[in-house]
Amino acid sequence: MKALLKYPALWKDAAFIGGEWLAQSPHGRYAVCNPANGETLVELPRLGVDAARAAVGAAHEAFLAWRRTTADERAQCLRRWYELIVEHTDDLARLITLEEGKPLAEARGEMKYAASFVRWFSEEARRVRGEIIPAPQASQRIVVTREPVGVAVAITPWNFPAAMITRKAAPALAAGCTMVVKPAEQTPMTALALAELAHRAGIPAGVFNVVTVAGQDAPAVGDALCHDARVRKITFTGSTAVGKILLRHAADGVKKASMELGGNAPFIVFDDADLDAAVDGVMAAKFRNTGQSCIGANRVLVQAGVYDAFARKVVARVAALKVGNGLDDGVQIGPLIDTAAADKSLEHVADARTHGARVLHGGQRHALGACFVEPTVLADMTPSMRVAREETFGPVLPLFRFTTEDEAIALANDTEFGLAAYFYSRDAARIWRVSGRLETGMLGINTGLISNEVAPFGGIKESGLGREGSSHGIDEYTEMKYLCWDGLGA
């Protein structure tokens, strides 16, 4: 399997702590599997609480020196890391497809996106500024500096194995923080390859650590990492349920926390939309990563005047999607991450059918295997169905019909989530009106693709706290320190 890589040294079977590869654990090893065929890719040391604490220790020791480096030194380390990531994109993309399942072209797209954060924050490192505020007394000077928070723990999901790490690690390291990453149990190989490249880039030992943790140990290790007094920041991307647990951990130690949690994105098509553009948009917003994206369109709301025409066009596009192993040429839809994920999509389809939905296309498990689901289009959806309330996280596109703009807004906002929303319209007044009324952290207007490194990514309501990317992303890793200096004369 290693032979699939151009640089086999990126194929790791050990955790990375304090600049050393840790190949053994007293708790044995756990397997990482390819969701396309169930084959074991690698067995990694099953680290427990002790090793997690050791990683925090290494990060804490490294922090004492890393925080004293100049912004320019940190910028140069990140720039080298970026260049190495770009140089090894093909291998990193292959690792993503092997462990996560997404089509190789999409994995390459993810690597471009992941690398963009490292480049962006290599640039932002030198733009962390303080301020001087006019003092209330003539003898005083008031200065505000920005300092790194300290050791950050990142707990990341499997759906974007590289980008969800660089989006956190790059701003943390740029600000002068050090990090312990606990990648998802399904996708640690990409994280370990990134660690190898960070090491080669000259990022000092202990600044970036990756612990390999089996799924059943994630709660105990998460608890130990988050309750360690040396950790001052918790950053998480994943489900709202786990985010709430981690926020409780953060509360115990009054730690800074950023949370990028679940979504239930509405995708609204108004009568005045450019229908072909809206079809392109929904295909991207729904089927990217086989439907496993937290900002993926979960509910497609279409105005009555264009509903039937839109449905016809969407079905034609969905019917042409090529399903298969992500490494094969031309594949657009890969396996879901595991059988349980495929089961959930199929349960959502079954629930919708029971409550009166029509299946316009697909609707079954795919003949390729237990993790594969046919790309599916459902019509006549209603708000009480599970698809409307929960994140499906699979290749299921449900169509809801609405009549008025007010009705669309009410439907769109009828969820505890508020991560992303999308709508298509060519009426400028409507665009401003609807933009103001949708409860969401991010909004795609006449586009289905909104992710990039320059904009603030994040949600409102139960979709999260804090923003990643953009010039704001680095604020999450700094604290303000206010210096009140007196006795300076008038």
Using CB under 6 A as the binding rule, whether residue 155 contacts ligand ADP is answered as: yes
User: Can you read off the two tokens belonging to residue 407?
Assistant: 């009705």
Please name the residue that has the structure tokens 């086989």.
Answer: 290
Q: What are phi and psi of 35, to 5 degrees?
A: -65, -15
Nearest to 409 by CA among 447, 385, 435, 444: 435
Q: How far apart are CA 33 and CA 71, in angstroms?
A: 40
User: Can you read off the two tokens belonging to residue 472?
Assistant: 């704001």
Whose Cβ is closer to ligand ADP: residue 8's or residue 219's? Answer: 219
Active site residue 131: no
Contact of 387 with 413, CB cutoff 8 Å? no
Q: How far apart are CA 320 and CA 338, in angstroms?
A: 24
Please name the residue that has the structure tokens 């679940």.
Answer: 262
- Restricted to residues 243-262, the positions that interact with ligand ADP (CB under 6 A) are 245
Nearest to 473 by CA among 234, 209, 229, 258: 258
Q: How far apart are CA 396 and CA 179, in angstroms?
A: 36
Which residue among 184, 195, 333, 373 contacts ligand ADP (CB under 6 A)? 184
∠ Cα 327 332 336 (to 5°): 75
Beta bridge partners of 179: 152, 208
Using CB under 6 A as the binding rule, whether residue 169 contacts ligand ADP is answered as: no
Which range in 30-38, 168-176, 235-243, 440-448 contacts ligand ADP by CB under 6 A?
A: 235-243
Which range in 152-160, 265-273, 295-303, 345-353 contacts ligand ADP by CB under 6 A?
A: 152-160
Please report how close the Cβ of residue 236 comes to ligand ADP at its closest, in angstroms: 7
Q: For residue 22, give the 3-state DSSP assignment.
A: strand
Please report how close the Cβ of residue 113 comes to ligand ADP at its closest, in angstroms: 19
Neighbours of 60 (CB within 10 A): 19
Active site residue 43: no
Which residue among 35, 109, 222, 466 contacts ligand ADP (CB under 6 A)? 222
Please report how close the Cβ of residue 154 comes to ligand ADP at its closest, in angstroms: 9
- Of 100, 294, 374, 405, the active-site residue reads 294
Which residue among 69, 145, 239, 446 contacts ligand ADP (CB under 6 A)? 239
Which range in 29-37, 149-157, 434-442, 460-468 contacts ligand ADP by CB under 6 A?
A: 149-157
Please report how close the Cβ of residue 32 comes to ligand ADP at its closest, in angstroms: 13
Please name the residue that has the structure tokens 């599997």.
Answer: 33
Greatest distance between any 2 Cα atoms in the chain: 81
Site mask, ligand ADP, residues 80-99, x = CB under 6 A? --------------------
Distance of CA 474 to the CA centre of its chain: 16
Using CB under 6 A as the binding rule, whether residue 157 contacts ligand ADP is answered as: yes
Using CB under 6 A as the binding rule, whether residue 153 contacts ligand ADP is answered as: no
Using CB under 6 A as the binding rule, whether residue 156 contacts ligand ADP is answered as: yes
Q: For residue 197, give the 3-state DSSP assignment.
A: helix
* Helix segments in 158-187, DSSP class H: 163-175
Whose Cβ is closer to ligand ADP: residue 91's or residue 260's? Answer: 260
Whose Cβ is closer to ligand ADP: residue 176's or residue 394's? Answer: 394
Provide the residue type at 60 as one letter: H
Using CB under 6 A as the binding rule, whether residue 218 contacts ligand ADP is answered as: yes
Using CB under 6 A as the binding rule, whether residue 294 contacts ligand ADP is answered as: no
Using CB under 6 A as the binding rule, whether residue 448 contacts ligand ADP is answered as: no
Whose Cβ is closer to ligand ADP: residue 100's or residue 405's? Answer: 100
Residues contributing to the site for ligand ADP (CB under 6 A): 155-157, 182, 184-185, 218-219, 222, 238-239, 242, 245
Please list the active-site residues.
Answer: 260, 294
